[in-house]
Structure 1
Amino acid sequence: MDQEKTPDHPQFRLPDPALVTRTMSEVAERGQRIVTDFLKRQAESDSTPDPLNIGGAFLDMTARLMANPARLMQAQLGFWQDYLTLWQNTARRMMGAETPPVIAEDPRDRRFKDEAWRENEVFDFIKQSYLLSARYFQTVVGGVEGLDPKSAQKVDFYTRQFVDAMSPSNFLLTNPEVLRRTAETGGENLLKGLSHLLADLERGKGRLRIRMSDDSKFRVGENIAVTPGKVVYQNDLMQLIQYAPTTPTVLKRPLLILPPWINKFYILDLRPRNSFIRWAVDQGHTVFVTSWVNPDATLAEKGFEDYMQEGIYDALTAIEQATGENQVNAIGYCLGGTLLATTLAHMAAKGDTRITSATYFVTMTDFAEAGELGVFIDEEQLHCLEERMQKHGYLEGREMATTFNMLRANDLIWSFVVNNYLLGQEPFPFDLLYWNDDSTRMPARMHSYYLRHMYQQNDLVKPGALELLGEAVDLRRIKVPSYLISTREDHIAPWKSTYRATQIYAGPVRFVLAASGHIAGVVNPPDSGKYSHWVNESLPPDPEDWFKGATELAGSWWPDWHRWVTALNKDQIPARVPGTGKLPAIEDAPGSYVKVMATD
């Protein structure tokens, strides 16, 4: 058999000389321009040398670690014993013996999905060496005693960032899939990867902005965010979209959806097959959605109160004009849910009853345990962030996106480094990742208020600690029925933190936990047949007790929510057509606000 053509020994071919010449010429020209532009911007910047305030935490950790050398020595001995066993097992494998792994990867870890990581002795040794080292690093830093909780969380988080970055899957010479592709293409994959890298540096204006999806395949309003409807109202902060009915009769109470303004609303309207908005319309809801503006410097002074007034209150007034109804069901997603809860507490203080039920998608109101996002919230980092926002009047959209991506670095950073730069492949056209890359800016005043009063000081959960629009806010005065959907693998709004709201609201509460994460667990249509959810009619104070008594049900939670909300009021009326009420149509959905990109 011709060995060069077997799957284990692919035929090696030289790259096309013309391609090499053209690529290296482009590298020289584009690289010089990128570096020049980047250095110019750095010279104009007065950013601090440690904007994430990491150094202090690691210095404290190191001092405490050195104060207990016996613990460090014990960890080192365990590491070297495991490493010696790995050497012995690898030698035995090379002699033909079967040996169990010293350490096994998580079956869900996609970095090591290639069979060579298990079947080839050398790559199996590289993989296990890395896993042992990663475990050693994390055991050492996780075992340091005496660190304050914030420093301990920061040290743990950035240690994992370092460990993830050092994975052998991220490097050419230690990734069997990349080596195989390099042999098959004669290195053309690396030339293409270099071109992709330069393009991403150009997109980020000198900072790496990794392309996660083939964005040429998507157009907002053409093949995503295509549920028919009309913009019926707009102000400085939002456009209000009313969607066209698909049923002859509709529920009397309209449905108002408040997405987060950290992202664009069409996460709930990606494609017809996974659109929550379209599904809700098909169930007979008259759906209204706030499409938030992508703010620029002219909106720098817009604050949290403005989002309450120009977001929820103006939307309620507009809905009444459009439909004649002064009572609605409301949904808030993530930060939109925090806004909804805050406004409901304000409405309770005023005796305003226009919102008759509240649904919260993965929403935190008690930020005492805010998860890994808390790593980025301390006085030093907030001060640095506020200084940057004051220069422009807003927070750059990419900064928030980078923070979220770091929470799942292997999935949202390193997998694309391997695919785009080492394998030289084009990213797959994926609607969810296209949306993830379509970032939004944050008005400086609003974002500073939100981070300080919610995340840092946790004022929202303290009765009367916040005064907004002339009223003291107390979440315990919220008496409307509440439906809370959280997700078990949420890195942004941990479900045990969102569960705390069940002990706060005064009205009846239903808590449902879905499988998967912050996005996939929410955007999970019934037809997909994916992910389960848990229900429990009782609401004990401890979320673990709730989970122990919960029943797992197959599939999407959407039908459970629909049964819950329609049980509150089943009254039906003839379908409402957008633009036929007292509010004329301004333009077709999805409107113009959502099409403004952070780079425009």
Structure 2
Amino acid sequence: MPDHDDRRSGSTFQPLDVPLKVALARMTHGLSPSALANAFSDWYWHLAMSPGKQLQLAESAWKQQLQWLLYVQAWGMGLCPPCQEPGPPDKRFAPPQWQRPPYHLLAQAFLLAQQWWREATTGVRGVSKHHEHVVEFVTRQWLDVWSPSNFVATNPQVQEETLRTLGYNLLRGGANWWRDALAVLTDGRPAGVERFRPGETVAVTPGQVVYRNRLIELIRYAPATDKVHPEPVLVVPSWIMKYYILDLSPGNSMVKYLVGRGHTVYMISWKNPGGEDRDLGMEDYLDLGVFAALDAITRAQPEVPLHGVGYCLGGTLMAIAAAALARDRKPLLKTLTLLAAQTDFEEPGELGLFIDESQIAFLEDLMAEQGYLDGRQMAGAFALINSKDLVWSKLVHEYLMGARTPLTDLRAWNADATRMPQRMHGEYLRRLYLDNDLAEGRYTVHGRPVALKDIRVPMFVVSTERDHVSPWPSVYKIHLLSDAEITFVLTSGGHNVGIVNPPDGPAASPQARYRIDVRAAGGPYVDAPTWQELAEAREGSWWPAWQAWLAARSGRPVKAPATGVGRWRALCEAPGTYVHMG
């Protein structure tokens, strides 16, 4: 009989299970049917044993039906009182066409039903919080399928467009659907992504690959100013996608912005792993990734501390590395910047709905066949989390209205999915998300635990208001885990758009805004809602504030070295070879 640790490590999977689970994964976007069944069973049986809750739901259904009938009656008398307003993120029924009869009646009926189902799936005594969240989320997704906005017969905007174009919008929409269906069936990429090829239109900031191992290429960007700050900036992107989200088109590139203001920037470009890399684990990503890059840079520029920067899971890995360096008393870092990066995973938002023992075991068996998790399988989960924007709004806009959403550099990057090695993916799901080892002091590096409390260098931590991957209250918990000086920023936008936020040029958002505040080293803790009320509000991009923060913690600029001068031996020009691995 295998012990508990063997079972949780995924080392005892049964080969006979794999074909069935692979087939199920294709139908469920990688979600475990057992995990869903457990959640709904927990909810159903506790609801069945709660007559008080049942009576409350019956009363609520009656009140909502009466409320809707009174709304219909008021409308018939020429009045139009408010009934049930959609929540702030739901803009499906905001256009004026939805205020005309009978469409506003359909919208109100749908919103009331949605409200009732939320009451039914939450607050059932005895149901675990995780199962409650899963049931509420899945039910919401199921209800969204039947939204009146999704059908020609009940969507006044679509009907108006159909009359205007004599049905041509539906022909265009059918063509759009067929093109996307073919891309899915043939494992193709969206039309137009060829216009955003790295090294040609994106990832074009001049630089050279100066170090390479089996997992990373290290890019050193060429100086763009006569003088540069002596401390280099090392950027660690997430390995879930290609690195160039931080070096998109020139007007949308964080790297270009930094080198244009006197910073020497290094970037890790992760290899897109294949089946031969199935045994690479989290410690390999630390040793062959962050530590290898730090070692290469410090050998070329000895006795000069670095500014460490990490984005998303790259930020989590950078924080782990900083804690290990602090533990071992290696003063390699001068500052630490975390961009939309969690260090406490107790409340990871809706992404946590897909992480429990059943789900992870399902993914481990799924990965056992090929040795990695395909990025497209993970993309299905992200699409479900943000389904209003990524699924249903696309259905209406492109398939019913017949429009075509312009392909931007950011959308093209989002389609450039990568894979994740079997061992690493299982380890980070278990150790970070499921067990929260990093926040609770159990995460080990080289056999010894690390603690974020050991980090003493100043931190600049950025979170985004509409982040479905790293919710900002979760990112904010770094205040509980470290006593270092923390400059915390809450910016508008989501996980990607909030970070890729240039201050000027055609890619700059006129609606951009952010809040910023500084907690001094050892300062008292302020909870997240209070911080949001007290933090200074500013208009525009947060990039200038961050660059000024970096400059204030850097040495006096010195003459920039000529290209090719120094201890580096260029292996090839940026963006390198790993970024082109499909």
Q: Indicate the residue corresponding to 2:135 in structure 1.
A: 155
Give the superposition deviation at 1:507. Answer: 2.9
Q: What is the CA–CA distance in structure 1 between the aligned matches of 2:62 and 2:193, rounded to whole Å?
A: 47
Q: 1:530 to 1:278 in 2, by over 3 A?
A: farther
Secondary structure of residue in 2 paired with 1:476: helix
Q: Indicate the residue corresponding to 1:371 in structure 2.
A: 349
Contact 1:373 1:492 in 2 (8 A): yes
Give the superposition deviation at 1:259. Answer: 0.5
Aligned ranges for residues 208-287 of structure 1 at < 5 Å? 211=190, 214-287=192-265
Secondary structure of residue in 2 paired with 1:111: coil
Give the superposition deviation at 1:514. Answer: 1.8
Q: Which of 496, 500, 514 is the matching residue for 2:491?
A: 514
Give the superposition deviation at 1:321. Answer: 4.4
Q: Which of 48, 56, 78 is the matching residue for 1:66?
A: 48
Q: Indicate the residue corresponding to 1:100 in structure 2.
A: 81
Are 2:96 and 1:115 aligned? yes
Q: Deviations over 1:462-502 (max 9, x none)?
A: 33x23322433222222222211112222211222212212
Q: Which of 311, 314, 325 is the matching residue for 1:333?
A: 311
Q: Which has the higher mean CA deviation after the structures are superposed, 70-79 or 433-442?
A: 70-79
Q: Which of 352, 355, 358 is the matching residue for 2:333?
A: 355
Q: Indicate the residue corresponding to 2:391 in structure 1.
A: 413
Q: Deviations over 1:383-410 (max 9, x none)?
A: 0100111111110101222212221110
Secondary structure of residue in 2 paired with 1:357: strand
Give the superposition deviation at 1:325. Answer: 5.6
Q: Indicate the residue corresponding to 1:176 in structure 2.
A: 156
Q: Which of 547, 554, 559 is the matching residue for 2:539?
A: 554
Contact 2:485 2:518 in 1 (8 A): no
Give the superposition deviation at 1:62. Answer: 1.7
Q: Deviations over 1:440-461 (max 9, x none)?
A: 1111111111000010011112
Aligned ranges for residues 108-507 of structure 1 at < 5 Å? 109-118=90-99, 120-205=100-185, 211=190, 214-323=192-301, 326-463=304-441, 465-507=442-484
Are 2:522 and 1:543 aligned? no
Q: What is the CA–CA distance in structure 2 between the aligned matches of 1:239 and 1:228, rounded to whole Å?
A: 15
Contact 1:259 1:332 in 2 (8 A): yes
Q: What is the CA–CA distance in structure 2 between the aligned matches of 1:338 and 1:315, rounded to whole Å?
A: 16
Q: Deviations over 1:556-588 (max 9, x none)?
A: 222222222222223211113453322222222
Unaligned stretches of 5+ in structure 1? 1-40
Secondary structure of residue in 2 paired with 1:290: strand
Q: What is the CA–CA distance in structure 2 between the aligned matches of 1:250 and 1:514, rounded to whole Å?
A: 28
Q: What is the CA–CA distance in structure 2 between the aligned matches of 1:113 and 1:238, rounded to whole Å?
A: 47
Contact 2:343 2:478 in 1 (8 A): yes
Q: Which of 47, 54, 71 is the matching residue for 2:36?
A: 54
Q: What is the CA–CA distance in structure 1 between the aligned matches of 2:574 and 2:160, rounded to whole Å?
A: 47
Paired AA for residue 374 in structure 2: E
Q: 1:503 to 1:74 in 2, by over 3 A?
A: closer
Q: What is the CA–CA distance in structure 2 between the aligned matches of 1:103 and 1:249, rounded to whole Å?
A: 60
Q: Deviations over 1:271-291 (max 9, x none)?
A: 222211111111110011101
Paired AA for residue 410 in structure 1: K
Paired AA for residue 172 in structure 1: V
Q: 1:196 to 1:515 in 2, by over 3 A?
A: closer
Give the superposition deviation at 1:299. Answer: 1.1
Secondary structure of residue in 2 paired with 1:262: coil
Q: What is the CA–CA distance in structure 2 between the aligned matches of 1:394 and 1:75, rounded to whole Å?
A: 45
Secondary structure of residue in 2 paired with 1:414: helix
Give the superposition deviation at 1:94. Answer: 5.0
Contact 1:524 1:530 in 2 (8 A): no
Q: What is the CA–CA distance in structure 2 between the aligned matches of 1:401 and 1:45, rounded to whole Å?
A: 16
Paired AA for residue 314 in structure 1: A
Q: What is the CA–CA distance in structure 2 between the aligned matches of 1:308 and 1:543, rounded to whole Å?
A: 30
Contact 2:189 2:415 in 1 (8 A): no
Paired AA for residue 554 in structure 2: N
Q: 1:564 to 1:416 in 2, by over 3 A?
A: same
Secondary structure of residue in 1 paired with 2:310: strand
Secondary structure of residue in 2 paired with 1:121: coil
Q: Deviations over 1:404-435 (max 9, x none)?
A: 22211100111112223222333322222222
Q: What is the CA–CA distance in structure 1 between the aligned matches of 2:46 and 2:244, rounded to whole Å?
A: 48
Are 2:559 and 1:574 aligned? yes
Secondary structure of residue in 2 paired with 1:233: strand
Q: Which of 522, 530, 536 is the matching residue for 2:511?
A: 530
Q: 1:216 to 1:573 in 2, by over 3 A?
A: same
Q: What is the CA–CA distance in structure 2 between the aligned matches of 1:319 and 1:417, rounded to whole Å?
A: 48
Paired AA for residue 112 in structure 1: F
Paired AA for residue 575 in structure 2: P
Contact 1:231 1:586 in 2 (8 A): yes
Q: Which has the higher mean CA deviation after the structures are superposed, 229-238 or 286-295?
A: 229-238
When normalised by structure 1's length, the TM-score is 0.86
Give the superposition deviation at 1:144. Answer: 1.5
Paired AA for residue 379 in structure 1: E
Secondary structure of residue in 2 paired with 1:411: helix
Contact 2:21 2:365 in 1 (8 A): no
Q: Which has the higher mean CA deviation after the structures are superposed, 349-358 or 380-389?
A: 349-358
Give the superposition deviation at 1:322. Answer: 4.4
Q: 1:125 to 1:578 in 2, by over 3 A?
A: farther
Secondary structure of residue in 2 paired with 1:266: helix
Q: What is the CA–CA distance in structure 1 between the aligned matches of 2:555 and 2:21, rounded to whole Å?
A: 61
Contact 2:459 2:485 in 1 (8 A): yes
Q: Deviations over 1:527-548 (max 9, x none)?
A: 2343222223345252223223
Contact 1:294 1:441 in 2 (8 A): yes
Count of aligned pairs: 552
State the 4+ residue runs in structure 1 displaced beyond 6 angstroms. 41-44
Give the superposition deviation at 1:329. Answer: 0.7
Q: Deviations over 1:162-213 (max 9, x none)?
A: 2222211112221122223333444443344333333323322379x995x7
Q: Which of 52, 60, 65 is the matching residue for 1:83?
A: 65
Give the superposition deviation at 1:137. Answer: 0.8
Q: 1:378 to 1:272 in 2, by over 3 A?
A: same
Q: What is the CA–CA distance in structure 1 between the aligned matches of 2:122 and 2:84, rounded to whole Å?
A: 19
Q: What is the CA–CA distance in structure 1 between the aligned matches of 2:565 and 2:276, rounded to whole Å?
A: 33
Give the superposition deviation at 1:358. Answer: 0.7
Q: Which has the higher mean CA deviation after the structures are superposed, 570-579 or 394-403?
A: 570-579
